[in-house]
Structure formats: structure tokens, C-alpha cells
Structure 1
Amino acid sequence: MNNPIKLINRIKIPALSPASIAFSPLGIWIADIERGELLLLNPQDGTVIEKLKSVVRRPQTISWDGEYLWEYDEETCNLYKRHLTGETSVMIGRIPGVVRPYLGMTCKDKTLWIISPDQPEFTVSNNHISLIKFPRHIQAETFEAPTYSCRGLCHDGKYLWTLDVVEGEIFALDPEKGTILTSYKLPECHDPSSIIVTDDKVWTMDIKKNELLTFHLNRDVLFSFSGGRRSEVEIIYRFRNPGPGILKEMETFQSLPKDYIHQKLISPVKVKPEPDEKISCQWDDKEGTVIINKIRDLLPNKEYDVTVSFDIETLNLKYHLYPHRMGTLDDIPEEIKKQYLIDEMIKNEDEQLREVINKANLLFQTGEKEIRSKVEEILEGEKRTFWIARKLYDFVVDSVKYVLPYTSITSKKILSQGKGSCGNHATIYIALCQVARLPARSIVGFSIWKDDSRLGYLDHEIPEVYLPSYGWVPVDTSRFMSLPIYGTHPLTKFRSFGSLSDRFFVNGFGRDLSSPFARRRHTVEKQIIVEGECVPEERFFMRWYSGER
């Protein structure tokens, strides 16, 4: 596993009851809530560099802004700041409108962030983060914390960070909007409390062991893996003739899985019966395979099965997305634009390709006024690639309800009815990205609940967007969205933006517009030849048995 965060040091804290930590260029400040003391510690060997008496009786939360050390008193709920070179301090008091207690705080450039309950004690439903503008103490913004278990705040110069003390997971947030950007699990850490993050270091405390833990953070790791399972998969595509006529001839198309970023085939793919034909399709920047079976003379109430089986290894994939690394639309390679933007593809000299693009755009409708004006309304002139992708994602998740089954409908229809399946979500998201000139495509595959297909499974489509420095990033616009309470929660959105589950495998690439299979699909009419009245039925069944790697 390419773990971007590693424990590199742990030392005993020489304090009776350490409650909070704060960064200083000289060391790490520790607040001892029982003794009312502040200790400046060397984080490498635990040496006490300096000891101060706190200006409050019980310093529950502290923060250092480069000039002042801020202290929050658990007993009086008052906030103070002090110059370390002088004996006086400034009492800020209680911030109007912010529920107490303050579970973490950080200050930068005359802005104070405080994490606190969103309701008075004993009626808490979640924690939220308040953004306070000084000197007038104006509460400029409030947004939800990633989880109720979040404690501690710090600012690394670009991003806001907080810590889930139950899961041992640190989250990076946009300081102005509160959007969750990325997260890391702290290894070998069971009872963390308080958080400091710099460019390449993370500090927290293990409050049960009274230890200060130092981690190395490698932000050059663009994505990481976790979990993992080895699975035996069998997919049965079943075609039935309900009669009363005879199905004389029909072609079936199935794409076959290959290796992808979070998956690896560990056995050859077997197909029964042997395909009548194979044709190449898109598979990332390589070629994939679509098999074609021809059903002939299928009598009433008879079935025809195509079985695809293989063994596969899948991992949980998470991209660590930092918006400042992705630049603007101008940073997208020209070759990617020519290959994936409809406005660029239509300029190709290949007449058949232009025909395919025009037919595909009957679904996307990127030239329609309603679609283009909606993109302008959502983006408001935004040019940064991450925020284009994220704002369009938020719009689709918030505005299009997840429903089944899939029906092939246009982007305008999806917008007007405000609902659709995963495939419809992918259609509208890709269409909006196309108008914004952000390359987008989709992956299709299968997903299971829990560990076994007997507990439930479904086919699923997930859009991908091209983000400079990262490449193709999955953004699942319909994961969990059928759950009205959790579907649009900030944490659910984050878990679905830039990640793939080890309970999902990719079986093919949707919205393929340039491969031989795409040309055939869009230019040759699919014919079903029957004798008498006959409407064939199509279903699929899956057996997916897996265990941990």
C-alpha cells in the first residue's frame, strides 16, 4: 500500500492532563488543563523548552497564530490571547452566536475558526465550524464539521484541518466554504486528541498514554489504497423469449473487464458460449474488448445465457485532492481536449466520427440554451478545474434525485424532471462538464452490498473528470443518493468525490465515442428479427463471492 502518512516518533508528555496542542517554530505548545500550565516541548525528545502559567484556570483549547497564543477557558468559556514576551493578555470573551464549549480553534490573518456543537449541551446533532472576522467579531460563515466526533482545528497556510477522534482520521477543508477536500487515517494511533498539520508533518496526542505523536505526511502521493478483496465473479446475461412468436436473430453485446487503477484480474476471463465476434472498445487510454453473441431461432419460453466469469482483486482507492495543484482549464493538455471535448471532436476530419459525435450529442444536448445557461449560473465565471468539477458535482447531487430504473433520456429532460438513475446522473454531469470545457467520461461496472452478491448487487455508472496533475478522477454522482438523510451530507459527498470502493469493479467505459465499437453502435441500427409477435426480455444475474486480501 502507498500510505502517504507514517508515524515517525512518539514521546511522553510531561504534563498531568494534556488537553490541546499548538504549533510554534520553536516547538509544540501543550496545554495542561489540570495544572493550568502551558509547556513548550521539543517534539523530538520531549525536552521542556519553556513553561508558562496559563492566563485561564483550565486551558481546554489553545492555538498559536504567529504572534499571539490563544487560550480558551473550560470553566468560564472565555477566550484570551497573549503576547509571550509580555505579562498582559487581551480578553476576547465569548463569541456571540457560537455555542460552547469550543472544541478547537485556529486563527490566521484576522480570521478565527472555532469548532463547537451546533446545539446546546445534551441536544447536539452535529458539530459545526464558525468563521469569525476580526476586529468586530463578525460571524461571517458557518459550515458543518465532517463528523460529530471532530475535535481540534489548525490552519496550514492554505487549508483548514480537523480530527475525528473516534476514527483517527484527519480532514482538510476549504477555509472559506468548509468543503471537505481530502483525508488521511492516522496509523498506530488509538485515542487521538487535538491536531497540528504543516507541509510535511502531523502532530496529535494519544490522551490515554499521555504521548505526543509525530507523523510524516507525503503530499506528493496523489492517491492511496486501503482494504482490498479477492473475488470470484460470475455474470449471467439472460435473454428470454416470452413468445408467442420466434426470436429469429438478435445480437448481444457485453464488455469484458481488464486491469484498472484499483483492480487487477488474477485469472483469465472465461466466456460461455464462445463469442461469435469480438470488437475493440475504449479502455482508459488502451483498447478493451466487447464480445458479440448472436441468438438464433429462440423458441417461445426459452432462454439464452451468456456467462462471463473471472477472478479479480479490488482495492479501496482515494485521491488526495488539493485544489491549488490543479490549476485552470488552460492547464489541461490539448491532446486530452481533442480526444474528449465534444466541441473539439466535432472538428475532426473523420466524417464517421463526426456522425457518432452528433448522434451522441442528441443525448448530452451541449448546445442547448438551458444547459449552457445552467452552467453559467452554477459556475459564475469559475476557471479553476477542481472547483468547476466540484460545483457541477454539488449541483447534480443536490438537484437530481436518485431513482430507478434507467431510461435513456436527454439532459434537458433530466434537469426538468429532477430525477434519474446513475446513468442519468452521469449523462447530465458529463453534459455540464462538456459545456464548461472540462473533459469528462464515465466508467461502468458492478457493485455489491457487504461482502457477497447474495446480500444485493447492482450495475453502476460513475463519471470521471480530468484534473491536471491527477489525471482521470472518479466522481460518483449517485452513490448513496437514494438515502434522503445522508445523500447530500458533506461527508457523503466527500466519500463519493475522488474515490472507488473495493466493492465495485469496472467492466467497461461508458460514453465511448471513438472506438470501433462506438462507431458500430452509433451508426448501425440494432435489429431484432422475429417471426410473429415477440418482445425479448433481458436480465442479468451475478455471483460475487469475496474475502479480504
Structure 2
Amino acid sequence: MKKVLLCGLILTRLLFSYTGEVEESIKTPGNSPTGLAYDGKNLWLADRGLNKIFCINTITGKVIKEIPSPSYWPMGLAWDGKYLWNADWKTGKIYMIDTKSGIVKRAIDTPTPSPRGLAWDGKYLWLADNAEDKIIKISPSDGTTIVEFDAPASDPRGLTYDGKYLWIADRIQDEIYMMSPDNGEVLIVFDAPGPFARGLAFDGNSIWVADYQNDYIYKLKIRDGIKFIREDQRESIVTFTHLIRNFGPGRILKAEVHIALPKDRDNQELVSENEYITEPKDFVTDQWGQKTAYYLYTNINPNEVVKSIIKYHVKVYAVRYFIYPDEVGTLKDIPKEIKKKYTVDNDKYQINHPVIKKALNKAVGDEQNVYWIIRKIYRYVLDHMYYELSGGWNTAPTVLSRGNGSCSEYSFVFISLCRSAGVPARYVGSVVVRGDDASMDDVFHRWVEVYMPGYGWIPIDPSGGDKPSPREQALGFGYLQNRFLITTESGGNSTTLSWYYNSNEFIETEPNTHYEVETIAEWEPVFK
């Protein structure tokens, strides 16, 4: 059974309620459940194999009533307050049904070839199509398309509306997504309860999911107050090595080395004390509260190599945050000390530069919601930049004008725009698992954390999230894989690490002295 960590306690998915956790389940009356809807009291379930639509009591799970489906391939269902709507894949039509008599009151053509999920938002129908991978708002009178968005992933099936957001189930990813009906942004991602989520319904408090393979209807918890979960624990020994190799012909007169020391965070735990293979001279804390091990070397001769080595025994996790935009506080709710500390300007960010101010105005406009300020900045950066690792870290205005950058440069641009908008932002740096559990990293990775009132510091990876699909973009916003050990937390221009992360060095040499600095993180799995 998959385990998750909630609020510091490891609990199975069956013992604690969080977004996506199964509260209860009902066995379906047939073996081919597809569409699902809620009429304010009972569930309605379509079954393709039986060509029937069943009314099911949510308390007892008993079938109260059954009516024939309008045609032979019933898919999505939606309840409009009076009538039940059913999308049929074979005929390409959507039928409006009087559930009392079973009479079809209206039939409209679907605008796409493969109608699957169906939802009602109080005025319009929403349709999920898995051939075109679209989520489409249509007129219930004639099927005219009002607006359409890309589906979160490649095989959308179930669809429902909760009064604020759309919820979509994807067959291939086995995930459920919360999407904004205003702009198509995917806001929340979580695992589906079964292997083939087909129909979705909202009962005013919970999401119901019909699974085609398991033949069960699952009731899922949402908006439970749990802000994040940990899952997919990885326990490792991480050996970080900082190496200075002097090629000469002169001497290195002085080398000061700082290695950043990780701490417990939402995504990680230190299992034991750090093992200092090379004993540091001292420990130093910079202006951001980042602690480093400090090493001092003098008179390093030509062809001499000095190494500073630390071992960390850690557990790292995938962390998934459940952020509901309407539950995020305002700019006024941000603690004054955090806002003062993490909205300051410097030469790298240049938050008042015309390029930054112009981009911020285009990205955010008059938006006041803190979540949407941040999310619109994220969208702007994704739309106006592409990843390119070319060496060097330019200023935020330069990078944004150029339109490409490394993970660090993406981070600087994002922080600059957030701070210019009055949103506290900082960066974190990490060492990374590269493929196998036993791996070596000498590239590393940096991303952003923003402060959301009501939630705290949230990870945002603008370079990692710069991908084609809405799902992949959403995974760059409030989600971390279990591949990262965060060593560094900084607002920038650290007194010890400067603009670097993981480690940094200050070196003084004789003339004509050539040297090389190498930093490597070795991951070794711990099996128990």
C-alpha cells in the first residue's frame, strides 16, 4: 500500500483524509460503468454494456431506478437541475433526458468526434473529448462551442463541475485534475483511486469517481485542510565533494570553501547527523539563515588537490501541495517580516527595471488574488522563455529580453517579477538523483519558492514546468519529485554562497595560477 506523510506523521491512505483520499465505495450494478452525475440526492451511472442509466442511493448503494440509455454507447452524464444529459460516443450526440419518463427531450450534435466526459456549470455544458484532447464549453441549445482548452493530459474521460472548478479524470495518467474554467490552467493533480477512472460527479462536498476496470464508484475527499502530502520515500546516503585542483605554476594562497548544509523540510528529513569526512574549520550562517560548513586552505601547491567532503543520510519524498486559489490570503495577509525580507531589490533582480515592470503589467494586469498573481507570472514566463544552458547567470531583465536561460536564470526572472508584484520569493538549490538510485550529479538544480498566505512557502519550478501539456506545467507548480535534496535556501547574493548554491569558494592566488573547482554529489540507496 502506498504511504503518504501528513503533517509529520506517516499514515496509509486509508487512515487519514486528504484531497483524493477514498472515503467510501459502492459496487456498480454492471461491468461497464462510464458516465456519472449527481442530482442533488442520488447518483446517476451510465453503463455501456447494459445500455442503461441507473439511479443509485449514495447511502445504501442500492439501485433506485433504471432507464434505458438514449443510444448504444452512453458516456458522460451531467445534471442541469431538471434534466439528465448523456453524451453518446457512437452517435456523436448529447441527449437531454427526462429521468421520470426516460423520454429524450432534446438531442444536439457534439462539436468533436469522441465525446467522453460531460458536466454542467449552471448555464453551459462542458465536454471532454479524448480524440482531440480538448475540454470544451458548449451551448446546450445547439452544441455551439463557446470556448475550448487543451485537456490536462492525453486521454480525458470523466468530467464534473463543483461550482468553481472543473475536475477531469485521465485514463492514461490515472490522475484527476482540478482545472480553472476561466483559463484552462490545471491547479491540482492527484492520483485516481483505480486503474481506469471513467465518470466523475460532485455532490456538494466530495468527488465521486466511477472506475471502469474495478467496477466501483469511489467517494473522494477534497478541501479537507491538509495542505500537502508526502509520498514515494527514498532513503539515501548523499556524499558531497568539493574539490580544488591546482595546475600551477603558481600557488593558491588562500581558499575559503563553504558547503551548504541541508535541513528538515516538507520534502526531506535528515536521518542522522552529518558525517564530516573532512572536518570543517567552522560553521557560518549567512543573512538568509543558511548554514554552511566553512573550510580554510592556505598555500596549495601546484599539482596539489584538496577535497572537502560531507555525507548526508537523508529521506527525500515526492511532495504534492493542494492549493485552492480561493483559500489563499491577500497581499495584506503576508507577515510583514517575510514581505520586508523577501521583496527587496538587488542587481540581479532589478525589480523596478522597465523590462520587468512592462512584463509584470502584461502578465498580471489588475489581478488582486495572490495565487493568480503568481500563477499568471508563471504562465508569462512559460510563454516567453525557453530552456538553454549556456553558462553564466545574467540579470533578470537581460534574461527575459533574451527569452532563454538556465534553471537559475528562469528562477531569477520569476523572483524578480514576483517581488516587483509585492509577493515574497526566494530560491532553493539542490543535488539531484540522475536516473538510477545510485547516481552522480554534477549539474544540480535550482527553483523558486513563493509565499502564499494561508499556505506558506510553495515550490515553483518555472524551468522544470516549461513543458507542452497542462499537466506537466501544473507539476512545476506546487509539486516536487523524490529526486531532490535541498541544501540551499536564499534570497540572493549570500555572504557565504554569493549567487551559488550547494557550495561556493573564495580563492586568492599567485599570478599565473590555473586551477579547477569540481563539485559532485554521489547518491547511494539505503535498503532496509
1:402 CA drift (Å)? 1.8
Query: What does residue 502 of structure 1 align with?
Result: 482
> 1:58-137 to 2 correspondence within 5 Å?
58-85=73-100, 88-95=103-110, 98-119=111-132, 127-133=133-139, 135=141, 137=143
Query: What does residue 191 of structure 2 align with?
Result: 185
> 1:294-313 to 2 correspondence within 5 Å?
294-313=296-315
> 1:338-349 to 2 correspondence within 5 Å?
338-342=340-344
- Separation of aligned partners in 1, 2:433 and 2:189: 24
Query: What does residue 413 of structure 1 align with?
Result: 398
Give the secondary structure class of the aligned counterpart of 2:398: helix
Query: What does residue 529 of structure 1 align with?
Result: 508
- Separation of aligned partners in 2, 1:504 and 1:42: 46
Q: Deviations over 1:117-164 (max 9, x none)?
A: 354xxxxxxx11112245564423221111223211100111101112
1:388 aligns with 2:373: yes
- Separation of aligned partners in 1, 2:460 and 2:499: 28
Normalising by the residue count of structure 1, what TM-score does the alignment of the two structures yield? 0.86
CA separation of 1:496 and 1:199: change in aligned 2, threshold 3 A: farther
- Quick one: which of 308, 325, 328 aligns to 2:327? 325
Cα RMSD of the aligned pairs, angstroms, is: 2.6
Query: What does residue 385 of structure 2 align with?
Result: 400
> 1:279-294 to 2 correspondence within 5 Å?
279-281=284-286, 287-294=289-296
1:426 CA drift (Å)? 1.0
Q: Deviations over 1:29-69 (max 9, x none)?
A: 12233443322111333322222233434433321122221
Structure 1 residues without counterparts, runs of 5 or longer: 120-126, 343-356, 482-486
Please tell me whether the aligned partners of residues 451 and 546 of structure 1 are also in contact (alpha carbons under 8 angstroms): no
- Separation of aligned partners in 1, 2:72 and 2:481: 48
Q: Deviations over 1:425-456 (max 9, x none)?
A: 11111001111111101111111122335365
1:113 CA drift (Å)? 1.1
Query: What does residue 281 of structure 2 align with?
Result: 276
Query: What does residue 375 of structure 1 align with?
Result: 360
When structure 1 is superposed on structure 2, of 240-249 and 47-56 the one drifting more is 47-56
The structure that is helix-richer by fraction is 1
- Separation of aligned partners in 1, 2:419 and 2:39: 46
Q: Deviations over 1:153-210 (max 9, x none)?
A: 10011110111234432111111211111122234x2343211234542322233443
Give the secondary structure class of the aligned counterpart of 2:443: strand
Give the secondary structure class of the aligned counterpart of 2:431: strand
Query: What does residue 20 of structure 1 align with?
Result: 35
CA separation of 1:249 and 1:75: change in aligned 2, threshold 3 A: closer
What letter is aligned with 2:518?
R
1:141 aligns with 2:127: no
Please tell me whether the aligned partners of residues 401 and 419 of structure 1 are also in contact (alpha carbons under 8 angstroms): yes
Give the secondary structure class of the aligned counterpart of 2:475: helix
- Separation of aligned partners in 1, 2:343 and 2:141: 48
Please tell me whether the aligned partners of residues 329 and 370 of structure 2 are also in contact (alpha carbons under 8 angstroms): yes
When structure 1 is superposed on structure 2, of 423-432 and 109-118 the one drifting more is 109-118
Query: What does residue 10 of structure 2 align with?
Result: none
Please tell me whether the aligned partners of residues 238 and 538 of structure 1 are also in contact (alpha carbons under 8 angstroms): yes
1:409 CA drift (Å)? 1.4
Between the aligned residues of both structures, percent identity stands at: 27
CA separation of 1:117 and 1:14: change in aligned 2, threshold 3 A: closer
1:253 aligns with 2:258: yes
What letter is aligned with 1:423?
S
Structure 2 residues without counterparts, runs of 5 or longer: 7-12
- Separation of aligned partners in 1, 2:121 and 2:41: 18
Give the secondary structure class of the aligned counterpart of 1:300: coil
Please tell me whether the aligned partners of residues 406 and 424 of structure 1 are also in contact (alpha carbons under 8 angstroms): no
- Residues paired across the two proteins, number: 509
Give the secondary structure class of the aligned counterpart of 1:275: coil
- Separation of aligned partners in 2, 1:305 and 1:192: 53
- Separation of aligned partners in 2, 1:87 and 1:266: 62
1:367 CA drift (Å)? 1.8
What letter is aligned with 1:311?
H
Give the secondary structure class of the aligned counterpart of 1:386: helix
1:466 CA drift (Å)? 0.7
Q: Deviations over 1:268-307 (max 9, x none)?
A: 1123432223211367xxx442222222111112211111
